């Protein structure tokens, strides 16, 4: 924590340095005066001594010049001789090296030429062999081509001879479809010639060569016609012509068989000729390729051998040269070393002579100088004594005003390391979020060199001033927290990143927030900080702002924040936000750090004006700009304000300098890249939910006895903290403050606020003072605890309510309004207080709380219209009778909502976190303040219809589920102690099925054993979606008293039938009712076992013995029965025998066996059974099955129908309404055709 003299606080540091600077300047001036006096005294003494010294020096200088010239001449001669000898040795060495190289290289070239000649000769021999093989291959190819041409000629001749049989031999003659081996013997040409002659000599070839078979047919038919002599009569020549054509065809086939073998042999001989040539060519090609590979391989080997010999020759040559040069170098080194030794001896001799001459000269010169020094020392000693006396006085003052003042600043670096350790231990995980806030944040190190003081410095050793004074430089809060960086963007961005991380590391979580504006870099240099938004969005306000409109808007919001802090928190009680935070505890306001890079780019005139306002009032309210400025400002006033309020660092030649003092500033750098990401994530994880402020519920709960408050004049209950010391109170019942409207997005704390209102009212006021009607349309169980704990104040608790049930609650409240109106008129009362005074009776104020009230208006139907009318009447008239409405919603926008005139009557507005559009809707048109709310539970209370002047920021207290449970238990205990006899609340849980065990009528029937049959049997199906008795159906002895249930889900239908059995069994004696169950599972099924456990008689039939069961029912129907019979049919679609067959079917069997027609009996029971005391309860899984099993004309005999979720078309087909298509999981619809009513209910679950 910072103290008054904190060595890290910039105000203290800069003030101390300014005082030290003044002390240094004064000391330097007085030291200079003393030094001048000493100097004047010494000058007078030394003037005379100097004149004598100058004469002696001139004489000695002449002697020195002559001596040095002689020595230099001798040294130059010796050096020239040495250089000539060294050059001769070097020249002889290089000549010998070159001769050695030339001799060895000539011998190598001779040997290599000889080897290369032998290699070329061998290569030429191999190439000649390869060329001869290629010529032979070409000749062989030409011969093979000739053979193929000759074979093709013979094939063409054969086809001419076999022209009449050409279709049979055309392909084989050219080698297609002819397979031969590659071997051949003898002369292939001779064999082919022979086969060709055999073909040519065959008589079939000659007969059919010129006249093909079709012409022979024509000739045969002509001959038959001619021989008949009756060409016009086909009957005369038709048969002979057919025989003639057949004869010709037989002759042709015989001829074909005779030439077939010869022709096929010729085709084989010709194909062998073609194949023999191809095989010879292929063999020769393989030989040529082998020779080519051999030539290539041997050539490669020759070249490789030559290359190897070349490498060996080069190696030998280099080795010989190296050996020869080594010998030459040894000789050259010996000669050179010998010459250097001789030269060194010669030069040493000359140097010794020169040294002796110089020694004698210097001895003479020293003697003269010593005499002058003795005279000078005596004079200086007297002057110095006077000077030292003055310095001792100045040194005493220096110790007090400089050394003592700088010591805390110098030691401050150690204090900084202790309070703000280096990044490494932080990166290694050795960091826990601090509990207390530091009021300083290190920025870097200020290095003040002796030149940076800007004044003359004392020079004597008495005045110890470090060459470089190193002190920590920090930002301090609240007075020195603003920073202006005039310099490079990259260096400034690095320092700003480091500063941001240091702020987060040194302040408790939830006490810092950042706004980053980067119009030039578009957030590039600050992108790493955006990881913070992954953990807590408010740490960095969601994003980096880059565009001019965004900058205007964000600076406007910050100015509004400053206004809120000044007007709502500081007022005239606190000077700064730091003082306020010390008193506020959990309600401490965050410090807002505004990082601006690239200023003033994209800053409009409005933005500049807003920034100027922030500079003027922001630091007092915890808003601190950190600005990197790239260009000079045209706005002189803003520039002056910047330099007045900010710590100014200016970059000069790549070095940052402190404008207020001078000196180099080394800014802290951000952690290395390897650590920074992990470090940012660690800070982010520590700040998860840091925006959450938890003011304990105990801050507003009654501290002593419960139920001590009265609501006669007004209903008042604390709901949170407003500022550091004040509680925010919800006040209803006076003036226009009668009803409240609450808006807040998901996670804003709206549910918590409702719980705080309900619980705290229940603690402060008894049930005689306030009662609740609680409706929650959300998909949750927010209000369930009040039903579970049987809150005595609660009249209705609706969890995940339906619109229909919510409407019934409004009707109940409206009825209460009507009754109170009559009571007030009867006694002449105008309000609750006057009614109590006039009658002496307790009358609680009624509080109707509806969360997500807009669910009433999601559909434009009768429900929404009636709800709108009822709410409007309750809001307008309820104020006079102590009935108050609190409506809550996530948003007030949308197409369907409560009338604006009704909302206008609700002057108490409570806004939690919401968007800008909802901020205007919940408040006034010029009051968008709620959009600036950032944390859960933070809200604005306004009891003047949203007028901006009446905003009261507050923080809702935190009420955990555990504490709420304990508080409600305390209320219940208080009710038991006082003996409150209030009816139990109506609890409606829309997210769960109803329980038969919670039905009071069934419980009463179960508790009393029936002595006789009921007048009318009834069945309880479920809990209603309204404040009324359970949903039930009655079975009078009249037609139509049957029940049909349709819907998917086996468990759902079993639960329905179980409710039927349990309801009827509770009302009937063992003798007054009988169960006939048609169940595919039979007696061992769940329904069969349940019915068997009941006292009434039971019969269970399955599809396999259906005929027997229906026969028994037919007999009872015909004979009549005293007991009521209830026929329960589960899944009628599984009983095929109950479906009427197609009356137009075809059959060879005469159905006159006397067997029972189960379908007709089923239909008779539907239409005639109820009047005879036989009622059907039938279930089916779909309307399509109902329409096939129950004829349309009999559907009206099911006066009572239960529908579960189904398509709109099926619902309309059953009850002329699509209502069943909108049902949820635990919902059903009961339709009574006789009464024309439709009732939504929650079916009973199965009893386990």
**What is the rounded CA–CA span in Å between residue 763 and residue 371?**
109
**What is the rounded CA–CA span in Å between residue 628 and residue 494?**
11
- 1169-1195 as b/e, with b when 16 or more CB fall inside 10 Å? bbebbbbbbbbbbebebbeebbeeeeb
Q: Tell the residue number behind the tokens 């919001």, with chain if given.
A: 557
Q: Is 412:19 a contact under the CB 8 Å cutoff?
A: no
**What is the rounded CA–CA span in Å between residue 790 and residue 775?**
16
Residue 65: the pLDDT is 84
Q: Is 465:457 a contact under the CB 8 Å cutoff?
A: yes
**What is the rounded CA–CA span in Å between residue 1018 and residue 1033?**
5
DSSP-derived secondary structure for 69-130? HHHHHHHHHHHHHHHHHHHHHHHHHHHHHHHHHHHHHHHHHHHHHHHHHHHHHHHHHHHHHH
Q: Could you tell me if residue 1197 is inside a domain?
A: yes
Burial zone of 981 (CB within 10 Å; 0-12 exposed, 13-18 middle, 19+ buried):
exposed
Alpha helices in 896-978 (DSSP H): 900-904, 916-922, 961-978
The torsion angle over the Cα atoms of residues 671, 672, 676 and 678, rounded to 10 degrees, is: -120
Residue 513: the pLDDT is 86
Last residue of one domain, picked from the residues 663, 686, 709: 686
Same domain flag for 956 and 1002:
no
Same domain flag for 1200 and 1091:
yes
Same domain flag for 971 and 1033:
no
Q: Could you tell me if residue 319 is inside a domain?
A: no
899, HSE (Cβ side, Cα atoms, 13 Å) = 15
Burial zone of 73 (CB within 10 Å; 0-12 exposed, 13-18 middle, 19+ buried):
exposed
Of 1136, 1074, 1075, 1067, nearest in space to 1103 by CA: 1136
**What is the rounded CA–CA span in Å between residue 785 and residue 775?**
13
**What is the rounded CA–CA span in Å between residue 199 and residue 261?**
9
Q: Give the tokens for residue 1130.
A: 């589960």
Q: Is the peptide bond before 279 cis (omega within 30 degrees of 0)?
A: no
Same domain flag for 565 and 678:
yes
Q: Is 906:735 a contact under the CB 8 Å cutoff?
A: no
**What is the rounded CA–CA span in Å between residue 674 and residue 12?**
36
**What is the rounded CA–CA span in Å between residue 118 and residue 303?**
11
DSSP 8-class letter at 462:
T
Same domain flag for 1211 and 1239:
yes
Biggest distance spanned by C-alpha atoms of the chain: 183
Q: Determine whether the annotation assigns residue 749 to a binding site.
A: yes
Report the 3 state secondary structure along 611-668.
HHHHHHHCHHHCEEEEEEECCCCCCHHHHHHHHHHEEEEEEECCEEEECCCCCEEEEC
Q: Could you tell me if residue 184 is inside a domain?
A: no
Neighbours of 1007 (CB within 10 A): 8
User: Strands of 440-449's sheet, edge to edge?
Assistant: 468-476, 440-449, 664-667, 655-658, 646-652, 482-486, 623-629, 591-599, 512-517, 544-545
Last residue of one domain, picked from the residues 914, 945, 976: 976
Three-class secondary structure of residue 590 per DSSP: coil
Q: Could you tell me if residue 1119 is inside a domain?
A: yes
Same domain flag for 573 and 497:
yes
Burial zone of 407 (CB within 10 Å; 0-12 exposed, 13-18 middle, 19+ buried):
exposed
Full residue range of the structural domain in which residue 1121 is found: 996-1140+1157-1243
Q: Could you tell me if residue 132 is inside a domain?
A: no
Q: Determine whether the annotation assigns residue 746 to a binding site.
A: yes
**What is the rounded CA–CA span in Å between residue 296 and residue 302?**
10
Q: Could you tell me if residue 937 is inside a domain?
A: yes
Three-class secondary structure of residue 1126 per DSSP: strand
C-alpha distances (whole Å) from 596 to each of 100, 477, 486, 628, 1245 are 80, 19, 12, 6, 63
Alpha helices in 162-202 (DSSP H): 166-173, 188-201
Q: Determine whether the annotation assigns residue 261 to a binding site.
A: no
Q: Determine whether the annotation assigns residue 751 to a binding site.
A: yes
Q: Determine whether the annotation assigns residue 383 to a binding site.
A: no
Q: Is 908:884 a contact under the CB 8 Å cutoff?
A: no
Same domain flag for 1127 and 1199:
yes
Is the pTM here over 0.75, yes or no?
A: no
Same domain flag for 799 and 926:
yes
Same domain flag for 639 and 672:
yes
Last residue of one domain, picked from the residues 645, 662, 686: 686
Helix (H) or strand (E) holding 885, with range, is strand 883-889
Residue 164: the pLDDT is 67
Q: Is 846:816 a contact under the CB 8 Å cutoff?
A: yes
- Which residues fall within 8 angstroms of residue 205, CB to CB, at 6 or more apart? 161, 162, 164, 165, 199, 259
Angle subtended at Cα 446 by Cα 444 and Cα 447, rounded to the nearest 5 degrees: 135
Same domain flag for 952 and 1094:
no
**What is the rounded CA–CA span in Å between residue 702 and residue 584?**
21
- 733-755 as b/e, with b when 16 or more CB fall inside 10 Å? beeebbbbbbbbeeebbbbbbbb
Q: Could you tell me if residue 300 is inside a domain?
A: no
Neighbours of 586 (CB within 10 A): 14
Of 650, 660, 589, nearest in space to 618 by CA: 589
Neighbours of 314 (CB within 10 A): 12
Residue 909: the pLDDT is 95
Same domain flag for 969 and 1075:
no
Three-class secondary structure of residue 1033 per DSSP: strand
DSSP 8-class letter at 313:
H
Helix (H) or strand (E) holding 225, with range, is helix 213-228
Q: Determine whether the annotation assigns residue 747 to a binding site.
A: yes
Q: Determine whether the annotation assigns residue 745 to a binding site.
A: yes
Q: Is 886:746 a contact under the CB 8 Å cutoff?
A: no
CATH classification of the domain holding 1185: 3.40.50.300
Q: Is 1077:1106 a contact under the CB 8 Å cutoff?
A: no
Residue 981: the pLDDT is 76
Q: Could you tell me if residue 1097 is inside a domain?
A: yes
Q: Determine whether the annotation assigns residue 176 to a binding site.
A: no
Same domain flag for 523 and 593:
yes
676, HSE (Cβ side, Cα atoms, 13 Å) = 17
C-alpha distances (whole Å) from 122 to each of 125, 127, 276, 303 are 5, 9, 37, 11
What number of helices (H) and strands (E) belong to the chain?
Answer: 30, 32
Mean pLDDT by 10 residues, the chain (1248 residues): 66 82 83 82 81 80 80 82 83 82 79 77 78 78 77 74 69 60 56 74 68 74 73 72 77 74 75 76 78 78 76 79 82 83 84 81 80 79 81 82 80 78 64 78 85 80 81 85 86 85 82 88 83 79 87 89 84 83 80 90 90 88 89 85 88 84 82 74 76 84 90 93 87 93 90 94 94 85 82 89 88 94 92 90 93 87 90 92 94 76 92 89 87 86 90 91 92 87 79 86 88 91 89 93 93 93 92 93 91 92 91 88 90 91 46 72 93 94 92 91 93 91 89 91 87
Q: How far is CA 940 from the centre of its chain?
A: 32
The total number of structural domains in the chain stands at 3
């Amino acid at each position: 924590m910072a103290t008054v003299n904190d060595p890290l606080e910039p105000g203290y540091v800069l003030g101390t340095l300014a005082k030290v600077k003044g002390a240094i300047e004064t000391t330097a001036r007085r030291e200079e005066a003393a030094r001048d006096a000493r100097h004047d005294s010494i000058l007078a003494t030394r003037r005379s001594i100097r004149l004598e010294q100058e004469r002696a020096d001139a004489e000695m200088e002449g002697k020195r010049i002559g001596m040095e010239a002689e020595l230099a001449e001798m040294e130059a001669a010796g050096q020239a001789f040495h250089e000539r000898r060294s050059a001769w040795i070097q020249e002889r060495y290089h000549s010998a090296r070159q001769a050695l190289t030339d001799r060895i290289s000539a011998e190598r070239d001779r040997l290599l030429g000889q080897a290369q000649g032998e290699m070329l000769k061998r290569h030429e021999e191999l190439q000649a062999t390869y060329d001869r093989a290629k010529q032979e291959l070409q000749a062989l190819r030409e011969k093979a081509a000739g053979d193929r041409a000759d074979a093709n000629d013979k094939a063409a001749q054969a086809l001419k001879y076999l022209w009449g049989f050409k279709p049979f031999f055309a392909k084989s003659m050219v080698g297609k479809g002819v397979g031969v081996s590659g071997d051949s013997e003898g002369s292939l040409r001779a064999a082919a010639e022979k086969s060709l002659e055999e073909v040519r000599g065959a008589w079939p070839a000659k007969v059919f060569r010129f006249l093909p078979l079709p012409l022979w047919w024509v000739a045969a038919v002509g001959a038959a016609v001619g021989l008949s002599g009756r060409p016009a009569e086909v009957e005369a020549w038709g048969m002979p012509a057919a025989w003639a054509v057949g004869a010709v065809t037989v002759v042709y086939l015989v001829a074909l068989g005779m030439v077939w073998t010869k022709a096929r042999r010729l085709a084989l001989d010709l194909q062998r000729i073609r194949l023999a040539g191809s095989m010879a060519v292929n063999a020769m090609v393989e030989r040529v390729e082998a020779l080519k590979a051999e030539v290539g391989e041997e050539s490669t080997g020759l070249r490789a051998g030559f290359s190897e010999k070349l490498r060996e020759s080069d190696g030998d040559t280099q080795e010989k040269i190296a050996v020869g040069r080594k010998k030459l170098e040894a000789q050259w080194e010996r000669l050179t070393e010998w010459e250097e030794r001789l030269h060194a001896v010669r030069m040493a001799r000359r140097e010794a002579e020169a040294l002796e001459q110089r020694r004698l000269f210097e001895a003479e010169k020293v003697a003269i100088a010593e005499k002058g020094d003795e005279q000078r020392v005596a004079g200086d000693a007297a002057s110095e004594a006077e000077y030292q006396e003055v310095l001792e006085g100045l040194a005493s003052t220096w110790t007090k005003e400089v050394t003592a003042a700088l010591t805390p600043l110098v030691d401050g670096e150690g204090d900084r390391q202790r309070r703000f350790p280096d990044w490494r231990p932080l990166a290694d995980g050795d960091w826990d979020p601090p509990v207390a806030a530091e009021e300083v944040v290190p920025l870097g190190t200020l290095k003040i060199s002796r030149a940076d003081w800007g004044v003359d410095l004392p020079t004597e050793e008495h005045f110890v001033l470090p060459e470089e004074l190193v002190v920590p430089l920090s930002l301090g809060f609240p007075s020195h927290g603003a920073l202006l960086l005039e310099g490079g963007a990259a260096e400034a961005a690095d320092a700003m990143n480091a500063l941001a991380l240091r702020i987060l590391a040194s302040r408790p979580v939830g006490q810092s927030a950042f706004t980053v504006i980067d119009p030039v870099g578009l957030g590039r240099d600050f992108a790493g900080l955006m990881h913070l938004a992954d953990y807590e969005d408010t740490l960095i306000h969601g994003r980096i702002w880059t565009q001019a409109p965004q900058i205007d808007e964000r600076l406007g919001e910050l100015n509004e924040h400053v206004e809120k802090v000044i007007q709502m928190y500081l007022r005239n009680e606190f000077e700064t936000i730091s003082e306020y935070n010390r008193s506020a505890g959990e309600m401490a306001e965050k410090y807002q750090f505004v990082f601006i890079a690239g200023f003033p780019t994209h800053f409009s005139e409005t933005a500049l004006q807003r920034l100027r306002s922030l500079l003027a009032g922001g630091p007092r309210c915890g808003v601190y700009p950190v600005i990197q400025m790239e260009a000079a400002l045209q706005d002189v006033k803003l520039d002056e304000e910047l330099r007045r309020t900010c710590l100014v660092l200016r970059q000069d030649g790549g070095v940052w300098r402190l404008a207020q003092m001078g000196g180099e500033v080394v800014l802290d750098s951000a952690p290395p890249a390897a650590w920074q990401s992990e470090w940012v994530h660690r800070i982010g994880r520590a700040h998860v939910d840091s925006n959450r402020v938890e003011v304990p519920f105990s801050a507003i709960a009654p501290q002593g006895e419960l139920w001590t408050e009265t609501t006669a004049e007004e209903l008042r209950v604390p709901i949170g903290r407003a500022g550091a010391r004040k509680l925010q109170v919800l006040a209803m019942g006076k003036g226009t403050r009668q009803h409240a409207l609450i808006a807040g997005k998901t996670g804003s704390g709206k549910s918590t606020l409702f719980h705080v209102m309900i619980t705290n009212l229940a603690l402060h006021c008894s049930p005689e003072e306030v009662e609740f009607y609680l409706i929650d349309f959300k998909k949750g169980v927010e209000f369930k605890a009040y039903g579970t704990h049987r809150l005595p104040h609660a009249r209705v608790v609706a969890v995940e309510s339906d619109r229909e049930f919510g409407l019934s609650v409004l009707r109940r409240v409206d009825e209460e309004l009507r009754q109170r109106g009559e009571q007030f008129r009867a006694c002449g009362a105008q309000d609750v207080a006057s009614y109590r005074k006039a009658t002496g009776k307790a009358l609680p104020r009624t509080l109707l709380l509806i969360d997500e009230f807009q669910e009433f208006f999601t559909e434009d139907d009768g429900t929404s219209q009636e709800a709108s009318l009822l709410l409007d009447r309750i809001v307008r008239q309820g104020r006079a009778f102590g009935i108050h409405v609190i409506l809550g919603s996530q948003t007030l926008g949308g197409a369907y909502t409560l009338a604006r005139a009704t909302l206008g009557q609700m002057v108490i507005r409570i806004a939690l976190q919401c968007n800008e559009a909802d901020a205007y809707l919940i408040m006034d048109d010029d009051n968008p303040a709620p959009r600036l709310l950032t944390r859960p539970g933070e809200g604005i209370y306004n009891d003047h219809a949203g007028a901006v002047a009446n905003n009261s920021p507050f923080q809702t207290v935190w009420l955990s589920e555990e504490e709420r449970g304990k508080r409600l238990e305390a209320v219940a205990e208080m009710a038991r102690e006082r003996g409150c006899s209030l009816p139990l609340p109506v609890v409606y849980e829309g997210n769960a099925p109803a329980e038969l065990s919670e039905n009071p009528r069934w419980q009463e029937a179960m508790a009393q054993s029936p002595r006789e049959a009921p007048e009318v049997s009834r069945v309880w199906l479920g809990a209603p979606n309204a404040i009324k008795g359970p949903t039930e159906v009655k079975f009078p002895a009249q037609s139509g008293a049957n029940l049909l249930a349709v819907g998917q889900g086996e468990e759902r239908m079993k639960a329905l039938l179980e409710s039927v059995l349990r309801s009827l069994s509770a009302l009937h004696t063992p003798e007054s009712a009988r169960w006939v169950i048609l169940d595919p599972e039979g007696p061992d099924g769940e329904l069969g076992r349940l019915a068997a456990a009941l006292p009434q008689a039971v019969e269970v039939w399955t599809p396999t013995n259906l005929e027997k069961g229906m026969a028994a029912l037919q007999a009872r129907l015909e004979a009549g029965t005293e007991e009521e019979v209830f026929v329960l049919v589960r899944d009628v679609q599984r009983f095929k025998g109950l479906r009427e067959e197609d009356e137009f079917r075809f059959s060879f069997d005469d159905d006159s066996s006397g067997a029972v027609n189960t379908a007709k009996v089923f239909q008779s029971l539907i239409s005639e059974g109820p009047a005879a005391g036989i009622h059907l309860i039938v279930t089916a899984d779909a309307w399509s099955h109902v329409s096939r099993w129950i004829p349309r004309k009999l559907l009206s005999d099911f006066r009572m129908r239960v529908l579960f979720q189904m398509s709109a078309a099926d619902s309309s087909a059953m009850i002329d309404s699509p209502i069943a298509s909108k049902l949820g999981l635990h919902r059903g619809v009961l339709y009574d055709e006789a009464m024309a009513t439709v009732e939504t209910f929650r079916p009973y679950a199965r009893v386990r």
